[in-house]
Amino acid sequence: MFLLDFYYDNTCLNGSGYLGFREARGKIRKWTVLCGGSATVELLRLIAVSCLGKNFLVPAASRFHHCLAQTVTRNTRLEFVTMQHSPRDCPATAPPVLAAGIEISEQGVLTSLAAKQRQRCRQETPWRLPATGTGIHKYFALGYGPCWRIHADTDSFDFSRPYQRLDRFASLFDETSLLTDTPVFLQRLHYRFLKNRRPAVQTLELLVRELNAFFGIDTSSWLLRNADFKRLIAALSPDHQYLLRPVIDSVRHIMDASPHDLDPLARQGIILAAHPLESSYTDSLPAWLELMDRIFPNIQFIIALSEEKVSLFPEQLRSGRLTIQEKTIRPRKNKKMVLGRLGKDIVLLVDVDGRIPNLALMKLSRWFRNQGCGVRLVRHDNWQVDQADVVYASCVFTFPVSQRRVRMLRRKFGDALHLGGSGVDLKLRLPEEIEAGLADFDLYPAMEGKAMGFLTRGCTRQCPFCLVPVKEGLPRRVADLDELLQGRRKLVLLDDNILAFSEAEALLEEMAARKIQVNFNQTLDIRLVDAYRASLLRRIRCSNYAFTRNIYHFSLNDLNDLDIVRRNYELFGFRPRRDNVEFVCMYGFNTTLAEDVRRFRFLRSLPGAYVFVQEYRPVLNGAQADLDNFFGPDPDRLIDQLIRIVFPQNMKSMEKYYRWLSRRYFETFGCLHQGLVDTIFKYNHRARKGLYIAAMLSGRGSGYRQRQG
């Protein structure tokens, strides 16, 4: 993000005015020097407020209330124009240059300005609310006051602070705020350097080179394997230690904001600095400014210097320019499939919510094409059709988004719509002549090389959470292998419970003999396995849906028959790191936390096994969840046990369960479980941890505390 124009009205020390940063030919100044005293600090604080975004205005008003109240007279208005950089800040199709505004009341309350309240920014500049994201990755900006204090073994690097974006500007508003703990951060950076992670390697090598060049700091041992940065930093002179503080803090924040960048220090952004090195360190000011210029080549700097220190500003920095892009990089593409008006001989097929190709629609496609009709397939709501005389739609789920799409279809097509699927009617069937026909796999490009269908339908189990007993009844044969394959070698098998079919061995024997790859999409019932069936399944090339690796799919939705599951599992002879065995585990139906922990611990004890969790979603007219006594008397102990159960793979799937559990825990006890929150953000989306905490707590207004008792 760059700041292009900044308008201010009714400020305490500066009154009303304008700061412009643009130069001719699509350039802005890299360095802008504001000359003066307290008035320039006020301007930098107002610019910092403009860089926060609407999601941070309320916490900023609370945290920086004292300074803000001193900054305004009547209602202070800020209008500003910024440039966003693609892809970090915005999509390439979005307008990069935007205007926004903020009003600050005399009490220090911050409010976003709407487009109709615009007064100073040009009308042709697109207006938006200052929505600079909810995390720390977008719209990078920092601000430093004249006093640089650092943490001493009190810094937190786990992103647990709710509004971490505010920390970037804290020293500009409060001289007691603390910057990054220099030796601790450098030690962490050095650890990643030793792991040969490219961002850390480039960053540490750059610091070693430039700190030696500009300040003569002996950094020769910083890249050694046994480097101890507490000792190395303590050995520096007090002056050098002080000069390093904002440098290391800036590096830390820009790396936190750029976790996927190979060269994070090359990103664009804004750094504000109020009267840096204006006391006993004045002689070091030119070198410090040049160092910042070298380390951050694409940062826009806006600094305040007293009149007597302006002459120390390095002359070579005055010519620095940065490039701005004022036009959209490429035109917006219409993602919707536009079909216009379909002819009478064209049948529209709508896959309302399918996650995999829809078998019923593929059978309808084959049927209508055999009748001489054309077909058009559209999925979800990424399409636009003006008119169609014949429409067949299939809805699989009962999710709110599915039902919304169903309502839209009914309104649009009326009597022309033929609607079916388990999300609409469990008893509705295709006409027998269509059901018995072959599927048109060409309808879905993703089906290239793959076949799909049922050999059997039905199940002997009467699980209350499942629609199969109502929809399909008991197991029966509905097709043979040749009908399904149509000459292909990969089969997505949709059977509800093929092992419950009385002649299952014959079907497995044929699959093994023909050496086809099979994805048992609805999982296998391991309780119905014996030694012979296990040997047949080991001969079959059981695969994932994409057919990119071998995998066995089972399910374990409760604690029933664990002894049978273990005994039958051992029949396969699975081995860790060689075999992939996924157990689909439903949660949120009728199991307790203690039962879930026992279930996951049991699966972890099986060689090669891991989990894929699924939250229970009631099927049409299905049973409701029973979770009244879910936590039991000692939930904290159970959660502590749960988060220590680590599977060799697919832990990101377990994260869904952790999030569900964390939300339910908070709703039940009014607080968060610290260990569970730490586990959720241990590997994925670490920078969102603080915002997660803030969002949860704001929903109930309770303190962030550990549950007692």
Arithmetic mean of pLDDT, 307-327: 89
- Spatial distance between the Cα atoms of 459 and 476, rounded to a whole number of angstroms: 9
pLDDT, one tens digit per residue, over 182-196 is 999 999 999 999 999
Q: CB-hemisphere CA count at 13 Å for 442?
A: 6
Distances 382 to 332, 354, 373, 379, 413 between C-alpha atoms, Å: 15, 13, 23, 6, 16
Please report the pLDDT score of residue 335 as a whole number.
67
Q: 329, 366, 322: which is closest to 347 by C-alpha?
A: 366
CA distance 201 to 105: 47
Least confident among 236-240, 422-426, 658-662: 422-426
Long-range Cβ pairs for the range 310-319 (8 Å, 24+): 310/33, 310/35, 312/282, 312/285, 312/286, 313/31, 313/33, 313/285, 313/286, 313/289, 314/286, 314/289, 314/290, 316/290, 317/30, 317/31, 317/289, 317/290, 317/293, 318/31
Percent of the chain with pLDDT over 90: 70
pLDDT greater than 80 at residue 246: yes
Q: How many CB atoms lie within 10 A of CB 64?
A: 23
Here the contacts of 275-281 (C-beta below 8 Å, separation 24 or greater) are: 275/40, 275/41, 275/146, 275/304, 275/305, 275/306, 275/309, 276/144, 276/146, 276/246, 276/303, 277/243, 278/146, 278/305, 278/306, 278/309, 281/239, 281/242, 281/243
Residue 223 identity: L
Q: Give CA separation, 346 vs 308, 389, 420, 618, 660, in Å.
A: 80, 8, 19, 36, 45
Residues 51-89: tens digit of each pLDDT: 888 778 888 888 887 787 776 667 889 999 999 988 888
Taking the domains of the chain in order of start, what are their residue ranges? 2-323, 337-434, 556-709
Residue 546: what pLDDT?
93
- In 3-state terms, what secondary structure has residue 536? helix
Give residue 383's pLDDT.
87
Q: Which class is domain 337-434?
A: alpha beta
State the DSSP code for 543. Answer: B
Residue 529's pLDDT is 96
- The pLDDT of residue 701 is 39
Task: Check residue 692 and give its pLDDT.
Answer: 87
pLDDT of residue 330: 56
- Residue 326: band (very low, low, confident or very high) from pLDDT cuts 50, 70, 90: low
pLDDT of residue 702: 40
Q: Which of 168, 158, 293 is CA-nearest to residue 687?
A: 158
pLDDT at 680 over 50: yes
The pLDDT, as a whole number, for residue 158 is 85
Tell me whether domains 2-323 and 337-434 share a fold: yes
Structure tokens at 185: 């951060």
- Compute φ and ψ for 429, nearest 5 degrees: -130, 155
**Bridge partners, 299 (sequence order):** 269
Q: What percent of the chain has pLDDT over 70?
A: 96
Query: 57 with 104: CB under 8 angstroms?
Result: no
Give the integer Cα–Cα distance in Å for 122 and 84.
18
Kindly tell me if the per-residue pLDDT of 709 is higher than 50.
no
Of the pLDDT bands very low, low, confident and very high (cuts 50, 70, 90), residue 683 is: confident
Q: Which amino acid is at 375?
A: V
Judge contact between 317 and 30, C-beta under 8 A. Answer: yes
- Residue 216: pLDDT band (50, 70, 90) is very high
At residue 73, the 3 state secondary structure works out as: strand
Question: What is the predicted pLDDT for the residue at 624?
Answer: 85
Please report the pLDDT score of residue 67 as a whole number: 80
pLDDT in tens, 263-277: 999 999 999 999 998
Q: What pLDDT shows up at residue 480?
A: 94
pLDDT at 203: 96
Give the model's pLDDT for residue 333: 55
pLDDT band (50, 70, 90) for residue 705: very low
pLDDT over 50 at 236, yes or no: yes
The beta-strand segments (E) located in 494-627 are 517-520, 541-542, 552-555, 581-587, 609-615
Measured in residues, the chain has a length of 709
Looking at per-residue pLDDT, the higher value among 159 and 354 belongs to: 354
Mean pLDDT of 687-709: 65
What contacts 191, CB < 8 A, 6 or more positions away? none
Distance CA 481, CA 477 (A): 11
Q: Is the pLDDT of residue 580 over 80?
A: yes
SS (H, E, C) 365-426: HHHHHHCCCEEEEEECCCEEEEECCEEEEECCCCCHHHHHHHHHHHHHHHHHEEEECCCCCC
Provide the β-strand partners of residue 337: 383
CATH 3.40.50 assigned to domain 2-323? The reply is yes
Q: Over the chain, what is the mean pLDDT? A: 90
Count of other CB atoms within 10 angstroms of residue 152: 11
Residue 166 vs residues 4, 101, 159, 302, 389: alpha-carbon distances, Å: 22, 18, 12, 18, 57
* Tens-digit pLDDT profile for residues 337-353: 788 888 889 999 999 99
The larger pLDDT score, comparing residue 631 to residue 91, is at 631
Question: What is the rounded distance in angstroms from the CA atom of residue 86 to the CA atom of residue 1?
Answer: 10
What is each CA distance from 471 to 358, 429, 458, 468, 555, in whole angstroms? 17, 10, 8, 5, 20
* pLDDT the model gives residue 118: 93
Measured CA to CA, the distance from residue 439 to residue 361 in angstroms comes to: 8
Tokens of 65: 């209330």
Tell me the whole-structure pTM to 2 decimals: 0.80
Would you state the pLDDT for residue 63? 81
**Structure confidence at residue 328 as a pLDDT band (50, 70, 90):** low
Average pLDDT for residues 630-643, to the nearest whole number? Answer: 95
Write out pLDDT tens, residues 524-547.
Answer: 999 999 999 999 999 999 999 999
**Average pLDDT score over residue span 153-179:** 88
Average pLDDT value for residue range 12-24: 92
User: Is the confidence at residue 523, as pLDDT, over 50?
Assistant: yes
